[in-house]
Amino acid sequence: MASFFGSAKTAIALAAISVLFALATACNSTPTVPVPPPEFCGISAPDEDAGTATVTCEAGETARNIALVFNDDLGHGVMQETNDAGAFSAEVEANAGDTIVIQMKYDDRLSAEVVEFVPAE
């Protein structure tokens, strides 16, 4: 059986190559780079008058991200943009011993969580 492409085998081979090419170009095979977790974080003892503790993370690989700081015990949190060096400081409602979860957000991706505890003093 003859076809426009010459033989039937040639037509099948071209069709298979076309399908493979379409599948290869339709898939986004670029790997997603994970957002690094915050580094070098510290938490102040709670300010008795304000009822807050300050979470401070030094410069790291978190530049141009949003820091998510959440008090897991009280159910309250804040979002804070990092500076160009990746550092940030955020106040969150807290009592001594509370569990603070810190995460970085970039676009729709989140870093691994870092868990810290609010010191008594």
Residue 79 belongs to domain with CATH number: 2.60.40.10
- At residue 30, the pLDDT reads 57
Q: Which residues contact 14 (CB under 8 A, 6 or more apart)?
A: 5
In a domain, 109, yes or no: yes
pLDDT for residue 26: 59
Q: What is the pLDDT of residue 35?
A: 77
Identify the pLDDT of residue 111.
87
pLDDT of residue 21: 66
Per the structure, how many domains does the chain have? 2
Residue 65: per-residue pLDDT: 82
- Give the whole-angstrom CA distance, residue 77 versus residue 36: 20
Q: How far apart are CA 51 and CA 95, in angstroms?
A: 7
Q: What range defines the domain where residue 48 resides?
A: 41-117
pLDDT per residue, tens digit, the chain (121 aa), is 455 556 667 667 667 677 666 666 655 555 567 777 777 789 999 998 899 999 998 876 666 789 999 999 999 999 999 888 888 999 999 999 999 999 988 888 888 898 999 999 8
Strand segments, DSSP code E, in the chain are 2-3, 6-7, 41-43, 52-57, 66-71, 76-81, 88-93, 99-106, 109-110, 114-117
Q: Is residue 89 a part of any domain in this protein?
A: yes
Please tell me the predicted confidence (pLDDT) of residue 106. Answer: 85
Same domain, 82 and 61: yes
Q: Do residues 19 and 63 share a domain? A: no
